[in-house]
Amino acid sequence: MNQENTRILKGDICYSIDKNTLITVEDGYLVCENGTSSGVFPRLPEMYAGLPVEDYSGKLITPGLTDLHMHAPQYAFRGFKMDLELLDWLNSSAFPEEARYEDPDYARDAYSIFVQDLKKSVNTRACLFATLHLPATRILMDLLEESGMETFVGKVNMDRNCPDYLRETDGDASADATIAWLEETAGAYSHVRPILTPRFIPACSDRLMERLADIQRAWHLPLQSHLSENPEEIAWVQELAPQSRFYGDAYDRFGLFGGEVPTIMAHCVHCPPEEVELMKERGVYIAHCPQSNANLTSGAAPVRRFLDQDMRVGLGSDIAGGTVLSIFRAMAEAIQTSKLRARLTGDGLKPITMEEAFFMGTKGGGSFFGKVGSFEEGYEADAIVLDESRIPHPQKLTVKERLERFLYLSGDDWVLHKYVKGRRLF
């Protein structure tokens, strides 16, 4: 029995079993043995009587949240130059700012702020884009490892259609740099794993994509990228890859669209039916990023359709298209934008419920990491104890009401204690 990750948490416990079923247990017990949940109990079973109890009575306890899509270097410039659409925003804000990470000193300053805030946040898992720079990416990985969170980090590949100051010379140079990065970091971390990260089709040559497919086969790496975010971008992909039937097909031609290895595609706002069908077939994860899709005038993804087909959907902050780390906020925004979508398009897709939003932000996205995002028996015990002290209220609320309220009202760091795989981070 490992003392570090074996314990019982007592409090008002909430977790999802499936997208329609939210379990709430008032004054219950989450039993965690060797980093794994043994279940949640309204009364403590005799057999666990010897385990240490951490008593958070009266406080909400939920699974840690998973951010399926965000750009670590963009944390430094979230929230300004937002009056632009995707491609203009990339050119005038994202690219020049990301270029700063060529300087390791800047990278260390910026990533330190980011990792500190991520650690204090309600999220316990994240899939991160870094930049194309190797030293900066190492710095990010070192900082994340130290934080104790579980993350995937991708050195970004981009070798065309980007400004000279932020572009790899060609597909081979980009792929070779990726191999160097993988070799350099192999075995170096316990909590940080590499993920292949071609920026998006417009920024990746065919040669690069071919080489990434080779690397994926050799290294068995998952992959993350962007898909069907903005109409202008989609038209551009069509121009660049005229032989592709749709955007996703431009990845699929290289065997980089899910299947055997887990794959995340961010956004999926404007997917044609064939693309949705292929994503479903290949088990591609959809990272739904509602705030970013609003900020960059992309639109509102038809999440109802994805959920109803039992596709794999999680939530992403998409820092800095989105501005807010907390995946609770992304849950609220997923609901809000689905309501606006329903009203403004009249397409008959029902808004997302609170249960579905909570599911996406916990078990939905968490499953990319394995058995993560729930407190059912056998799940890795990521747990957060929430800080409701800043929202006093005059009447009695149910546990579910308190949780729902937390989605709408809480800030990034309204968390008192955080556990990852049963280990207490703070």
Other residues' Cβ atoms within 10 Å of the Cβ of residue 368: 23
Which residues lie closer than 8 Å to 88 by C-beta, 6 or more apart? none
Q: Which stretch binds a second copy (CB under 8 A): 132-140, 200-208, 232-240, 394-402?
A: 394-402
DSSP 8-class letter at 69: E
Nearer to a second copy, 211 or 402 (CB): 402
**Shortest Cβ 292–a second copy spacing (Å):** 10
Side-chain-side CA neighbours of residue 425 (13 Å): 30
Give the separation between CA 380 and CA 155, rounded to whole angstroms.
Answer: 27
Selected binder of a second copy within 57, 190, 273, 343 (CB under 8 A): 343
Residue type at position 345: T
Read off the tokens for 64. Answer: 């840690």
How far is the C-alpha of 321 from the C-alpha of 333, rounded, in Å?
14
Considering only residues 191-210, where is the footprint of a second copy by CB under 8 A?
none
> Which residues in 277-296 contact a second copy (CB under 8 A)?
291, 294-296
Q: Is 252 in the site for a second copy (CB under 8 A)?
A: no
366 with 63: CB under 8 angstroms? yes
Identity of the residue, 220 or 343, whose beta carbon is nearer to a second copy in the bound complex:
343
CB 41 → a second copy: shortest distance, Å?
26
When asked if residue 165 is in the footprint of a second copy (CB under 8 A), the reply is no
28 or 321: whose CB is closer to a second copy? 321
CA distance 94 to 186: 29
C-alpha 46/C-alpha 137 separation (Å) is 48
158 backbone φψ class: left, alpha, beta (φ>0; ψ -120 to 50): beta
Helices (H) and strands (E) in the chain, counts: 15, 17
In the range 305-334, which residues lie near a second copy by CB under 8 A?
A: 323-324
Q: Which stretch binds a second copy (CB under 8 A): 8-16, 74-82, 125-133, 376-384?
A: 74-82
**Cα 64 from Cα 106, distance rounded (Å):** 30
Q: What span, in angstroms and rounded, lies between the C-alpha atoms of 132 and 321?
A: 19
Query: How far, in Å, CA of 364 to CA of 373, rounded?
Result: 7
Query: What minimum distance in Å lies between the beta carbon of 117 and a second copy?
Result: 9
Q: Report the nearest approach of a second copy to the CB of residue 91 (Å).
A: 17
Does residue 361 interact with a second copy by CB under 8 A? no
Q: How far is the CB of 275 from a second copy (least distance, A)?
A: 19
Decide: is 339 part of the binding site for a second copy (CB under 8 A). yes
Select 221 or 331, whichever has its Cβ closest to a second copy.
331
Q: Which is nearer to a second copy, 16 or 224 (CB)?
A: 16
Among 182, 408, 423, 425, binds a second copy (CB under 8 A): 408
How is 172-202 classified by DSSP, letter by letter? HHHHHHHHHHHHHHTT--SSEEE-BEE--GG
Binder among 258, 299, 314, 365 for a second copy (CB under 8 A): 299
For CA atoms 245, 248, 250, 256, the dihedral sign is: negative
Q: With CB under 8 A as the contact rule, which of the stretches 33-41, 168-176, 297-305, 379-387 interacts with a second copy?
A: 297-305
409 belongs to the binding site for a second copy (CB under 8 A): yes
| Minimum CB distance to a second copy, residue 246 (Å) | 19
Considering only the stretches 139-147, 197-205, 237-245, 407-415, report the one whose residues sit in contact with a second copy under the rule CB under 8 A.
407-415
Cα distance between residue 205 and residue 198, in whole Å: 10
User: What is the contact surface with a second copy in residues (CB under 8 A)?
Assistant: 76-83, 97, 100, 106, 109-110, 113, 291, 294-300, 323-324, 335-337, 339-345, 351, 353-354, 391-395, 397, 400-402, 404-409, 411
